[in-house]
């Protein structure tokens, strides 16, 4: 009974805070959701930890709390009772903890809101966050995790570019260089990563493909950014809800990367 309530709580958190991943998880088979919802709820809680307080020390205490919870999972003993930690401990294995810990470490830069020192730092951040989540999900669902770094670059940059207006409004400097030509080049590099995922897609077991469902529509977003970087500043990259749902349905139904 408690496990069912925890799963429902994770799904509710994701539905409210991360609608893209919620739709992706709902497009997956029921069995896969037992992995995806705890992972996505964990990611949501970690991602927003630096934003719920203006006190860096408190934000870092929140992140450390999650690192401590992961250490308990890795140890294989008693794990703290929590609506996300408890189902997460059932969904992942000790070998996944290092990847999830790197995800938390990457989020530490959000505490102070420092600008990325260069493009390499941006790509590293995107691989650790978006890529790390896909890596663990794919491994737990059956394989294909070798494509996770490329998937993280493609999905991560698309989501990051869509978030640029909100991040700038919050006083952040989301890109190391916001010039149009640089944004276009970054989008083209992310498209190369997207193409890498497509090229290796046939090797991903069918059971593990839901780990990549959040990528639905990423190619279209990146192509828009590459062709017209002004769309980033104008907050005009994100597809409408109907288009997003169509691409997710196509990916789930055809098994192709859209």
- The CA-CA-CA angle for residues 47, 48, 50, to 5°, reads 95
**Cα dist from 159 to 142, 190, 237, 250, whole Å:** 26, 11, 10, 20
Q: What is the pLDDT of residue 111?
A: 92
Distance CA 139, CA 146 (A): 9
User: CA-CA distance, 180 to 166, in Å (whole number)?
Assistant: 18
pLDDT value, residue 114: 83
The model's pTM is: 0.93
- Phi and psi at 114, nearest 5°, equal -65, 145
CA dist., res. 247 & res. 213, Å (int)? 10
How far is Cα 126 from Cα 106, in angstroms, rounded to an integer?
9
Burial grade of 101 (CB within 10 A; 0-12, 13-18, 19 or more): middle
| CA nearest neighbour of 248 among 72, 77, 22, 62 | 22
Distance CA 193, CA 237 (A): 19
User: What pLDDT score does 30 carry?
Assistant: 95
CB–CB of 128/106 below 8 Å? yes
Q: Do residues 109 and 160 touch, judged by C-beta distance below 8 A?
A: no
Beta strands in the chain (DSSP E): none
How many residues are given for the chain? 258
For residue 119, give both structure tokens: 């493009």
Digitized pLDDT (tens) for each residue of the chain, 258 residues in all: 456 668 899 999 999 999 999 999 999 999 999 999 999 999 999 999 999 888 999 999 999 999 999 999 999 888 999 999 999 999 999 999 999 999 999 999 999 888 899 999 999 999 999 999 999 999 999 999 999 999 999 999 999 999 999 999 988 899 999 899 999 999 999 999 999 999 999 999 999 999 999 999 999 999 999 999 999 999 998 876 656 666 666 666 666 665
Q: What is the rounded CA–CA span in Å between residue 142 and residue 135? A: 11
CA-closest candidate to residue 142, choices 31, 226, 4, 38: 31
Residue 3 confidence (pLDDT): 63
- Structural domain spans, the chain: 1-114, 144-258
**Which pLDDT score, from 0 to 100, does residue 211 have?**
97
Taking the C-alpha atoms of 99, 42, 243 and 222 in order, what is their torsion angle to the nearest 10 degrees?
Answer: -30
For residue 94 the two structure tokens come to 């000790």
CA-based torsion, 214, 217, 218, 219: positive or negative = positive
Look at residue 14 in the predicted model and tell me its pLDDT.
97
Tell me how far apart the alpha carbons of residues 22 and 4 are, in angstroms, rounded to a whole number: 17
């Amino acid at each position: 009974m408690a496990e069912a309530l925890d799963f429902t709580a994770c799904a509710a958190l994701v539905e409210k805070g991360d609608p893209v991943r919620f739709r992706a998880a709902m497009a997956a088979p029921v069995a896969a959701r037992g992995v995806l919802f705890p992972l996505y709820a964990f990611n949501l809680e970690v991602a927003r930890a630096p934003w719920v307080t203006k006190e860096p020390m408190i934000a870092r205490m929140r992140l450390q709390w999650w690192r401590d919870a992961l250490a308990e999972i890795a140890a294989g003993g008693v794990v703290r009772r929590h609506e996300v930690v408890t189902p997460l401990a059932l969904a992942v294995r000790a070998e996944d903890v290092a990847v999830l810990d790197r995800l938390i470490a990457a989020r530490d830069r959000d505490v102070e809101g420092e600008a990325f020192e260069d493009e390499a730092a941006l790509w590293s951040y995107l691989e650790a966050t978006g890529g790390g989540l896909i890596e663990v999900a794919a491994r737990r669902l059956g394989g294909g995790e070798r494509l996770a770094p490329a998937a993280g670059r493609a999905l991560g940059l698309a989501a990051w570019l869509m978030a640029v207006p909100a991040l700038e409004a919050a006083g952040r400097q989301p890109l190391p260089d916001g010039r149009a030509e640089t944004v276009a080049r970054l989008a083209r590099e992310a498209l190369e990563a997207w193409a890498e995922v497509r090229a290796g897609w046939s090797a991903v077991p069918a059971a593990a493909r839901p780990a990549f469902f959040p990528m639905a529509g990423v190619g279209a977003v990146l192509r828009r950014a590459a062709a017209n970087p002004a769309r980033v500043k104008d907050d005009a990259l994100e597809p409408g809800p109907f288009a997003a749902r169509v691409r997710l349905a196509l990916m789930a139904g055809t098994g192709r990367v859209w």
